[in-house]
Amino acid sequence: MAAAYFFREFQDNQQRTLNQAVEAYRAYLEAVEAGRPLKGGMHWKKIKGREYLYRYRDRYGRGSSLGPRSPHTERLWDEFGRQRRETAARLSARRQHLAEAARFCRAALIHRVPQPVIRILRSLPSGDLSAAPLLVIDAHALHAFEFAAGVFIEAPRDSGLLAGAASGLTLAAAAEVSPDAFLRLLRQADRSYDILPGDGYAAVNQQGFQVRLLPPPTAPSGHRMMVRNAPGLTVPDESGDLAALMAAPKFSQVVIGRRGDPVTMTVPDPRALALHLLWLSQRQDREPAARARDRVQAAALAELILRYLPQYHFFSAELQLFPAEVARLAENLVEGYEVAADLDAE
């Protein structure tokens, strides 16, 4: 196992830098959200010799009249202008803080996630699909757990841990998404995306970065077992098809892009994803190289959970699904926790 990957824990300054970037990012999002009610604008419109105050809410000018010019509508006009100026100033300041945080992230060497992924994730909140969030379910999802745990999973180039991650992204939809909506979403991130011929749910940009969207799965079948401390987390007897993965609780984490910019990534529960990757590694219809990569990713994620995310627990029956060295690690960690607890009790 050690030859396939190892964990590099964040240094204190790296963790502080990440925490500060997360705070700056959340403050920026709060400023953006505060400005949403002010989207659009106001203007005076003259009709039959009288002026009326109109409030419009989009770039097409859709809105309604607030009434003829009067002391009341003039106060509305003045108040709206004041709020717009204050909001713009606040947003500008938060954007500057965010840019400064990005520089610190680059200096601290915690800029990790490829920019094509960051740009797509950034487009999700304002995209057509915001009501039905898309989940990252491929190797890029490991980044969410890295930043949550404060470690980076490092591996030799020939380990296969992140094979293919630099050239593509796989998303899964919790609700129906049309190919047109999918393409509009991608083009908010990069206007060069085009749908691949014959597949409305796969697209590629000019740099060759491919994005695939998996449609909502059918309900899983077969015996299901419950995972401790997560009532909504279930997996089928085979250790994880897409339906079980999408039914699992969601996990959101701020991650840092290659340019230092933070963004929120939403992924499945780490245990569900680890089991899903392991299930993929056992499918005979996958290429041997892909199965080997899935196995390494599943083992790395399981070990990360055991070492650094102890709030997530595997059942012993689930651990038996993983490589023997992962199960042994779990047993050793449990023994270590029991010894520590006994010493604390003394």
| pLDDT the model gives residue 324 | 67
Residue 183 has pLDDT above 90, yes or no: yes
The rounded radius of gyration (Å) of the Cα atoms in the chain is 24
* Among 132, 211, 213, CA closest to 175: 132
Which has more pLDDT, 322 or 208? 208
pLDDT value of residue 125: 56
Q: Higher pLDDT residue, 66 or 2?
A: 66
Whether residue 320 is predicted with pLDDT greater than 70 in this model: the reply is no
* Burial zone of 179 (CB within 10 Å; 0-12 exposed, 13-18 middle, 19+ buried): middle
- The confidence band for 222, taking pLDDT boundaries of 50, 70 and 90, is very low
Please give the residue that has the higher pLDDT: either 317 or 314.
314
Do residues 28 and 94 lie in contact, with contact meaning Cβ atoms separated by under 8 Å?
yes
Residue 239 has pLDDT above 60, yes or no: no
Q: What is the pLDDT of residue 338?
A: 44
Predicted local confidence at residue 321, as pLDDT: 58
Q: For 302-314, what is the mean pLDDT?
A: 86
Torsion angle in degrees (nearest 10) through CA of 269, 272, 277, 283: -150
Of 278, 275, 174, 282, residue with least CA distance to 227 = 275
Sign of CA dihedral 240, 244, 249, 255: positive
Q: What is the mean pLDDT of the chain?
A: 82
Average pLDDT, integer, range 115-119 = 95
Q: Are strands 210-214 and 168-173 parallel, antiparallel or unpaired?
A: parallel
Query: Smallest Cα–Cα separation from 294: which of 164, 171, 202?
Result: 164
Closest CA to 258 of 149, 162, 143, 170: 143
Distance CA 64, CA 48 (A): 17
Which residues are CB-contacts of 230 (< 8 A; sequence separation ≥ 6)? 248, 249, 269, 271, 312
pLDDT > 70 in the chain, percent? 79
Residue 114: half-sphere exposure toward Cβ, Cα within 13 Å? 17
Contact 201, 213 (CB under 8 A): yes
What's the DSSP call for residue 269? -
Are the C-beta atoms of 44 and 52 separated by less than 8 Å? yes
pLDDT per residue over 133-172, tens digit each?
789 999 999 999 999 999 999 987 766 677 667 789 999 9
Q: At CA 280, angle to CA 279 and CA 283, rounded to 5? A: 95
Token pair 């003039």 is at which residue?
74
State both tokens at 15. Answer: 């963790």
Q: Return the amino acid letter for 229.
A: N
